[in-house]
Structure 1
Amino acid sequence: MANNLHKDHRKRVKARYLSLGLDAFTGHNILEFLLFFAIPQKDTNEIAHQLMNQFGSFSAVLDASLEELMEVDGIGEHAAILLHLIPDLARAYLEDKAEPHQKYDTPQKLMEFFKPKFIGLKQEVLYAVCLDNTNHMVSCTKLAEGFSDSVSLPIEEIVKFSFRYNAKNIILAHNHPFGLANPSASDQISTIELKKALSALNIYLIDHIIVGKNLDALSMREYGCLEEFVDQDWTYLASSK
């Protein structure tokens, strides 16, 4: 009898998803449903409650490490991998939907482009984008991975990146995986120093985007960090005026 009730419950949950989608589910319900596909025999409702109690929120469960997940009773390797996979899938999905060759002539467009690249990351990562003279993206490359609270701005790699694509206009982006998008004093100093160094090589650092833990984002150009060093002939933003 218990097996039949368990089986019927799963059928009802699946039917609710097919009928109403995830909008009808709480975070706990989503976890319960997701675990159906990794734990075929057990009651995943109770395991979902344990996960929520352990980590505090749906997003915190998905951000947990494999080791942390497997400490929860009922979560084995398959279930832990499935849960850990979700942020990676979200990042891959949103990156695939991005339009790398569209015109990026406002900070807002760039911030929306970069946000998906940092979903679920636990360390700071630096990306570089080069634009052609019409503000179309030529390439986007991950240049460096750092720690939870820092990443270097490697001028040699940035210069190589620029020369590789014969592009003079560079935009950087990095994340604050455990903080807001506000630039730290170190972010501001290193960005200004980097812009000066690149300018000497006729490479122009147009903007530096920072993405926070909740996918809030900030343009250091708009923030005023690069204002003193903005090149008068640069057309970034000008095409929208």
Structure 2
Amino acid sequence: MAKAKMPPDHTPTAPGGGGAAPAFASTGPAGHRKRMRQRVLAHGAGGLADYELLEMLLFYGVPRRDTKPLAKSLINHFGSFSAVLDSSAEALHGAGAPRGSAALCSHLPDVAACLVRDGSSQRPYLGDWDSLLHYCNTALLAASRPQMRVLYLDSRNALLVDEARAWGHGTPDAETVRLSVGQILQRALEVQASALVTVHLPEPGQDVHAVLKGDAPFVTAIRKAAPLLAVSVHDHLVIGQKGAWCSARQQETDW
């Protein structure tokens, strides 16, 4: 009897071709679902590598085939595990993920935000410089760039929600600023935030002080609008790479 042919592995290439070297030199098959489940049952999921976590998430949409090659390929394609989860279901499906797995992965950031919001004892405190910078340099380390993060805080400066917002290149025009401020403050009301911190993650190589200067219209607009809704703006940070950062609050004498 002829052996049944296995379906081909999905191995998408990096966007645009070329660029940085992929995270994995090989995406060849290895490992089995049963062994993965046994590891989680015995030791928990905390000891799994990023690609192994993604591999298990892909079980939902890939009933029988080994998902390790696809997990590694998706991380190669999008650049990191967090970038995979930040991508839309359409982008994930276009990169080779089955529709069921793509939908599941695309909703995980919302699920995580709900868990953070509901588990008050586990929410990080961001009410001082050390805790805020530590969070930005760890939790946001693998975030794609450029983008804006909005950290919504409760009345005790514990993190309620950390969300990404689209942020283009260069200084935003007046209409972009107006829409962004409106959407950020509407979301603050939805999550019942008392305060917020905006964090700009610029492209690699950009000078953080020049980026902060370009963000001035946005900072001015959100500082003016937020108090009208009883929301405090604690700061606007620009976090570069290799420890580079600057603060709008430190630049403003009347903050």
TM-score by length of 2: 0.52
Decide which structure has the larger Cα Rg and report it. 1
In structure 1, distance between residues paired with 2:42 and 2:161: 41
In structure 2, distance between residues paired with 1:80 and 1:190: 34
8 Å CA contact 1:91, 1:116 repeated in 2? no
User: In the superposition, relative to structure 1, how do residues 207 and 37 fare at CA in structure 2: closer, same or farther (>3 Å)?
Assistant: same
- After superposition, what is the alpha-carbon deviation per residue over 1:53-111, rounded to whole angstroms, capped at 9, x for unaligned? 323332232233322211234x2211101121222222322233347xxx986455677
The yes-or-no answer on 1:148 pairing with 2:174 is: no
The yes-or-no answer on 1:225 pairing with 2:251 is: yes
* Structure 1 counterpart of 2:103, one-letter code: I
SS in 1 for 2:237: strand
Task: Name the % identity.
Answer: 23
Match of 2:219 in 1: 191
- Of residues 78-87 and 47-56 in structure 1, the stretch that sits farther from structure 2 once superposed is 47-56
Q: What is the RMSD of the two structures over their aligned residues, measured on CA atoms?
A: 5.2
Structure 2 segments unaligned to the other structure (5+ residues): 4-30
Give the alignment of 1:101-116 within 5 angstroms. Answer: 106-107=128-129
Match of 1:234 in 2: none
* Structure 2 counterpart of 1:174, one-letter code: T
> How many aligned residue pairs are there?
198
User: In the superposition, relative to structure 1, how do residues 37 and 172 fare at CA in structure 2: closer, same or farther (>3 Å)?
Assistant: closer
Give the alignment of 1:5-44 within 5 angstroms. Answer: 9-44=32-67
8 Å CA contact 1:51, 1:61 repeated in 2? yes
- Note the C-alpha offset of 1:185: 0.7
In structure 1, distance between residues paired with 2:65 and 2:51: 16
In structure 2, distance between residues paired with 1:188 and 1:44: 46
- Note the C-alpha offset of 1:17: 1.1
User: In the superposition, relative to structure 1, how do residues 40 and 94 fare at CA in structure 2: closer, same or farther (>3 Å)?
Assistant: same
8 Å CA contact 1:126, 1:175 repeated in 2? yes
The yes-or-no answer on 1:209 pairing with 2:233 is: no
User: In the superposition, relative to structure 1, how do residues 91 and 108 fare at CA in structure 2: closer, same or farther (>3 Å)?
Assistant: farther
